[in-house]
Structure 1
Amino acid sequence: MRSNYKQITKTLAITGGLFLSACNGGGSANNGQNTSVTSGTAAPTTAVSTQRNTASTSAGINEWPNYLAMGTISQGLTSSEPISQKIDAIFTYNGANGNGDPGLIETPYKIYNMINMAKTIKQNTGYSVNPNIVEYQWQLSGGWNTEDVLNQDYLVKHLFNLAFLASTLQTDAYAATGTHGTILLNPDLLGFIGNTQREADIDALNIQVNGAVSQVSCMMTESFNFNNAPGCTYNWDKQPITTTGTVKDLINWLKGKTDNYSAGQAFSNCVESYVIKQCASKTANNQLPQFTSNFNGWIQAQNYLVHNYGPQVNLGWHMNISATPGGGWWVHEGKNAVTPYVNQVLSLLNHYSVFSGTYKPDFIYFDRYGADDYAGSLADNAGQTLVQNQATLYNDQDWDNFLQMTKQISEGLASGFGKPYVPVMLWQIPAAHIQTNAEKIESGINAAEEGSAPDYFFGDPALNSSLNNIADWINQGVGTLNSKYGLCAGLTASQCLTLNNFNWGHSDNGKLQAAADAHVFSILWGAGGFATAVWAIPGVSFPDNGWMANTLNNYYTNRKQPLN
């Protein structure tokens, strides 16, 4: 789940994952490719090849390290974030509002900011940095709606935003960052469908995919005369745009005239006011691949657009831990709860051919809900108020279940994917740690945020085996865990964390190896406003007095985990 960066309202604690409702799975379905016109006979209307680069690391992911990679949330602002911290990836949410900007042409300034941030870190550390951009094509994080796919204007703009993102990463990212970047598609969408039992509603949708893809192809490839075109001005004084060419030529011209933010705003206005209308009346391009006019076809169209305009850009589809009845509480029920959950998720993913269609993504990514396990108090970071929110307390068995889930789903998708497994990214994993009583809470320095993920994977030698030195406020604040906590129901935080005699103070790679065994190739830490990350960002991530950054420095120096 993605929260608004600028939200400062104190929110109620959210427990048990993103959704608390339900879903069941489905059977096989058409993979979204219309059999009347096959992609093999289609002539691409762009010079970019649709052929995917088959070179890969041992995890099957191009341009990612051959060890378990680490990343963090970022705003892409070199003036307010660390630029010398070794990191493999940074991520942010595309557009002005981070929710896919329904009904709008997204301003692309964040893409360029993230490329520049990755470039700067690479220059300072000597290591490639992969810019990851979250892109919503249908935003269901806030509840059910169909306008994103049934309103043709919205549909066209969403697909154009995706195609332009893929094209920009393809052409601009590699020289700056050492990678072509990664797109993280549609958080919460599939999980919401499963959780709320919307399969019948989804299957009944008539989505006019082919007309939208044809219009997007025109917008991406045609040459336009922007001189005196309606809405095509830039800067506060409305200077006229005086150039001709494609939309890519347009953004490059604007970037040569003004800053990234102003160029992005002008680009969005010009495409919205002029380009989209020029292509609306064009005859449909029947040489393009033809997709079924349903949800499966819509999925395939997105995969195709990324393959076509960003053939070396990696693409992932998202799945929640709350995609079945009861939300995410199953994770607290012990190891026997994993397989029933996995079976329902696999049924859902196979029903919509997400990983088995003609055009496939490169990986699947999971989050557990992007908030720290426990938020002790409304904290501020350098004068910026942060949202108080929390997920559920996880002990070692919960994280074991999480990894076993990823492994089973990854391998369960193998037959349709055409490889032994689908590579896995763990995303929006909260980086708050189990604080000791020696760590002091101080505004702008260290927030009262508790979590167990980094202690599970990396360990913390400051913790003793009985956890009798954890910060007092953790047990006091968490209190007695409720009945939904399964094996930990009725226990305190420290009792739950020590239930299985797990050594949180370990310094070995056992759990990092377990992640590699579960086909995880990267862990991206932090989330938009609810969680601790690798570094603190005013208004975005909580401060931890450098604990997570120091932990990763030790990881890179002494403990990098090879992939299988």
Structure 2
Amino acid sequence: MSRNIICDVDSPSPDIWYGTLVVSNIRYDDDTSVTIQKLLGLKFKSPKATGKITCDVSLTSYEATKSQVYPSKPSEDVNDVTAQVHFTEPHTFVHDDHLTFGIVGDLTTDLDTFKNSFKLYAESLPSGTVIVKVATTPDPALTDAQQVVYLERDGTEDTILASAPGTTESYTVEAYKYDVKAADLATSDETTVASALASPSQVEVQVGGNTDIGVTYGVVQKYSALDVSIGALSQPITTERLHVKVVDDNNATWFDDFLSPNGTKKLRRLPVSGSVDISAQITLNDVKYSAAQNVQLSQSLIRVSINQNDIKAENVDTTGFVVLPVEIQTDATGSDVSIPIRFASTSQDVIYKQQISIASNSAKFDVPVAPGDYIVKADGFIIDSTVYGVQAPATLTVNSDGSTVLQLTTQKGASLAVRGFPDILSYGGLTDLYDLSGSDFVAADAYAAFKYAGNDGAGDSDRYLEDDPATRKTIQLAEAAASELKHPVLPIMISYTVNLSQGDDFTHLQNKDALMYSFGNLILSMSIANSTATQSVPVGYIVNPDFLGECQKGPTGEMIKPEYDMVVREPLQDALKYRKVDAEIPDSVTDTLKGYVVAVNWLIRTVAPKATFGWQTNLWGVGKSDWIYKKDDPTGPAEMAKETADYVKTLGVYSGDYRPDFLAIDRYEADDFTQRAYGPGYCYGPYEWDRFYDFCGALSLELQVPVAPWQIPASRIPARTEIVNDLETDHWGSGGTYIFGDPAIASDYHNINPQILEITPAEITTHPSVEDIFASAPPFDLSYPSYGSFPLRGIFTVLLGGGSTTGIVKSIGKTGEWTQSKVHDYMDNPVPLSY
């Protein structure tokens, strides 16, 4: 006789904006205990969510877990939610174990429906079998082509691959009602394409049942295909993008954009006759570099490469051009240090660039400059590990009368020498503690492993912990990896003493007992590190994620002021007494919000003086995150960073006697092409990632504090020719591709897999599709890594991944192994922090 798993569901303090659904007392319907070997699955309904749905797992005993939540696109203001909780070892649920689902949505309407909707499953979610029968090939050229069938569920596509025409394949899929679509059957170069029809167009997969889908073929079309590429170029245009145009013999433009060296533009499904003219050009420092070719089309793939030998250089007529003086205000010293200056015409076709020595307060460009409007870029520089930023106008109009002067000012920033970290830009990642040998971190040659401290990962604010296995095991893993790598691997614990990650700020700030317990549990974690770690810097801490951002934007839209009253000294004293720490609390720890910040800094410096630590903030501390998407807003990241820095300064986070070592910064850790990210509006292309890291750099400069981008999604963009099976489980994204580069994507968004381009992100992104995110971005090139600029942005390390987000560990998503190899390859030629 089968037994159903039942549970109790509560919703403490639901409101129209945010609330939680808390699952506890998980048991069988005969009241016997439930033991999970690997997977607990849940299905339930939630209100239409305007933000991420989170899942926090709190167990009375410690087992490593990871959770994944997949909400459907809402229908009639209701989400169908699927959640999975994975266990590393068997776990028997007891009454007080609970799962807390954070819902950004209105739980006050029809709350009983949401509470009563929970269904729980041991080891697997209910599923059925789909049998896909594909017709025989409609053309000999398509014999080796692969047929893809999409099962679409509320806008989220699951992909089923039939290996070839003329086959019948069976697939196990989650029981659900799906729309069915079939992709065109095409050769890899799309010179032969057959339309495909899946029947029926809708199926409902029943638990344990079989569902048939057939694929038939219609008209076969023949096409030409064209690959236009830029080969390796020589100085001075080695790294310059060329403006490429492809125009047919009817004067219709097929392509008009920029391509980088070693970049390729793929044009598909073209006519099989006629010709095209291909041109490429750029003007740099008054020299025009150009090439032109004519190509006859045919029913085949035609490859055209523009190489250095094809490039013709000629001086442009500089009549009417003017001298452009440059004035520099700086307190930096170093005669051999230069500022790289680059400014490009608004069309990007005309570029001037030059190195200006900081030893000269007044200089000029070596060549005359064409009057007009330019976009200015002036990079900073590093002297003895200290970053100097350069303030320059975002745009510059060069007047025809020669009156324009380019004004530059340098600003001293952070020292990148952070204890516990090497003198190179390093990488670390989240550990799920599945493998305590640290083999993933060894394979990546990583320098840090982070994990949330305690049992519930949020401070365990309801009790003093007797032990903290998460801290012990993270230290064990880090030291095992360090032993193999022959260099330190820093264990970093994420510690909450006030958890504002789920809102309800004032309640948490006023909870004296919770603060006492969480202070005590932080002391426990530090004591374990002091007594067990053997590395010279035993442990690192990132404290109170989301705290600064939440306080800055405030629960009512107004920041919480530093003098806000809260009890700090008493719970801190009680925690010190309980943990038998003999230390006198300084007078600077007052019963205010600012006093609480001092208390955290003092506590870490007192109990773990050898530790390294930093606070964390977010790009949405200004009360919004949509600024990241705004075009024609070059100063946006700097403005948002200054607002954030000003608030951090008022709290004295990085001043006084107990100053932290660094600042961690995140946006939201989900992989961009999962619904958990693009649903609430975190779906970045190269433009948005540029602005995020510009925000990091500006914030570092304002605070003079080194920064660590944290919980950065390190997944990659799949190329057009790759197989994308499931957007949610494969964990595709853009964060890793932006950092490490991928020539398969290069500078052409058409190289991105069509399933990715078709994603519809949240309205906050201002884009109707991922395709539009990339198509409307300024010219980009993902062929090469972007990490070379990180030190100039005050970045000394990057910490990758999250609980269900691609990082270094391979157990999360399809792209984790790719990221791991990229980090390892990077270490063959790492970026120094002092030059």
TM-score, normalization: structure 1? 0.70
Aligned-partner SS, 1:374: coil
CA 1:331–1:431 in structure 2 vs 1: closer, same or farther (change >3 Å)?
same
- Residue of structure 1 equivalent to 2:518: 158
Q: Does 1:532 align with 2:806?
A: yes
CA shift, 1:526, in A, is 0.6
Q: Does 1:503 align with 2:781?
A: yes
Distance 1:186 1:99 in 2: 9
- Residue of structure 2 equivalent to 1:431: 714
Aligned-partner SS, 2:575: helix
CA shift, 1:130, in A, is 0.6
CA shift, 1:104, in A, is 1.9
Larger-Rg structure: 2
Higher relative contact order (Cα pairs below 8 Å, separated by 6+ residues): 1
CA shift, 1:67, in A, is 0.8
Q: Deviations over 1:248-279 (max 9, x none)?
A: xxxxxxxxxxxxxxxxxxxxxxxxxxxxxxxx
Q: Does 1:347 align with 2:621?
A: no
The answer to whether the Cα contact below 8 Å between 2:563 and 2:594 also exists between their aligned partners in 1 is no
- Residue of structure 1 equivalent to 2:667: 368
CA 1:548–1:7 in structure 2 vs 1: closer, same or farther (change >3 Å)?
closer
Q: Does 1:518 align with 2:808?
A: no
Distance 1:473 1:460 in 2: 18
Distance 2:773 2:626 in 1: 18
- Residue of structure 1 equivalent to 2:502: 142
- Residue of structure 1 equivalent to 2:765: 485
CA 1:6–1:217 in structure 2 vs 1: closer, same or farther (change >3 Å)?
same
Aligned-partner SS, 2:519: helix
- Residue of structure 2 equivalent to 1:73: 430
Q: Report 1:388-467 matches (<5 A).
A: 391-413=681-703, 421-441=704-724, 447-467=729-749
Aligned-partner SS, 1:184: strand
- Residue of structure 2 equivalent to 1:47: none
Of residues 334-343 and 136-145 in structure 1, the stretch that sits farther from structure 2 once superposed is 334-343
Aligned-partner SS, 1:316: strand
Distance 2:543 2:574 in 1: 21
CA 1:494–1:206 in structure 2 vs 1: closer, same or farther (change >3 Å)?
closer
Of residues 294-303 and 396-405 in structure 1, the stretch that sits farther from structure 2 once superposed is 396-405
CA shift, 1:216, in A, is 2.7
CA 1:222–1:426 in structure 2 vs 1: closer, same or farther (change >3 Å)?
closer
CA 1:152–1:485 in structure 2 vs 1: closer, same or farther (change >3 Å)?
closer
Distance 1:110 1:554 in 2: 29
The answer to whether the Cα contact below 8 Å between 1:430 and 1:533 also exists between their aligned partners in 2 is yes
**Structure ranking higher in helix proportion:** 1
Distance 1:332 1:20 in 2: 22
Distance 1:65 1:318 in 2: 21
Given the alignment, which residue of 436, 443, 464 partners 1:105? 464
TM-score, normalization: structure 2? 0.48
CA 1:287–1:11 in structure 2 vs 1: closer, same or farther (change >3 Å)?
closer
Aligned-partner SS, 2:603: helix
CA shift, 1:423, in A, is 0.8
Query: AA paired with 1:313?
Result: A
**Structure ranking higher in strand proportion:** 2
CA shift, 1:370, in A, is 0.8
The answer to whether the Cα contact below 8 Å between 2:685 and 2:774 also exists between their aligned partners in 1 is yes
- Residue of structure 2 equivalent to 1:115: 475
CA shift, 1:520, in A, is 0.6
Distance 2:733 2:774 in 1: 13
CA 1:127–1:317 in structure 2 vs 1: closer, same or farther (change >3 Å)?
same
Distance 1:70 1:440 in 2: 29
Superposed CA RMSD in Å reads 3.4
The answer to whether the Cα contact below 8 Å between 1:77 and 1:113 also exists between their aligned partners in 2 is no
Distance 1:448 1:288 in 2: 51
The answer to whether the Cα contact below 8 Å between 1:132 and 1:182 also exists between their aligned partners in 2 is yes
Query: AA paired with 1:304?
Result: W
Q: Report 1:83-482 matches (<5 A).
A: 83=440, 84-85=442-443, 86-106=445-465, 107-173=467-533, 175=534, 177=535, 179-196=537-554, 205-221=564-580, 288-289=586-587, 291-325=589-623, 327-333=624-630, 334-375=633-674, 391-413=681-703, 421-441=704-724, 447-476=729-758, 478-479=759-760
Q: Deviations over 1:44-78 (max 9, x none)?
A: xxxxxxxxxxx999613112011111011102342
The answer to whether the Cα contact below 8 Å between 1:19 and 1:322 also exists between their aligned partners in 2 is no
The answer to whether the Cα contact below 8 Å between 2:681 and 2:762 also exists between their aligned partners in 1 is no
CA shift, 1:167, in A, is 3.0
CA shift, 1:137, in A, is 1.1
Given the alignment, which residue of 528, 550, 564 partners 2:821? 550
Q: Deviations over 1:339-379 (max 9, x none)?
A: 33123212211221111234221111100101011117x9x
Query: AA paired with 2:682?
Result: T
CA shift, 1:215, in A, is 2.4
Q: Deviations over 1:501-535 (max 9, x none)?
A: 211122x5xx2132110111111111122x11122
Distance 2:799 2:520 in 1: 27
Of residues 163-172 and 425-434 in structure 1, the stretch that sits farther from structure 2 once superposed is 163-172
Aligned-partner SS, 1:158: helix
CA shift, 1:473, in A, is 1.0
Aligned-partner SS, 1:72: strand
Distance 2:468 2:659 in 1: 25
Aligned-partner SS, 2:451: strand
Distance 1:87 1:545 in 2: 14
The answer to whether the Cα contact below 8 Å between 1:403 and 1:514 also exists between their aligned partners in 2 is no
Aligned-pair identity in percent equals 22
Q: Unaligned stretches of 5+ in structure 1?
A: 22-54, 224-284, 379-386, 414-420
- Residue of structure 2 equivalent to 1:31: none
Aligned-partner SS, 1:496: helix
CA 1:454–1:178 in structure 2 vs 1: closer, same or farther (change >3 Å)?
farther
CA shift, 1:561, in A, is 4.7
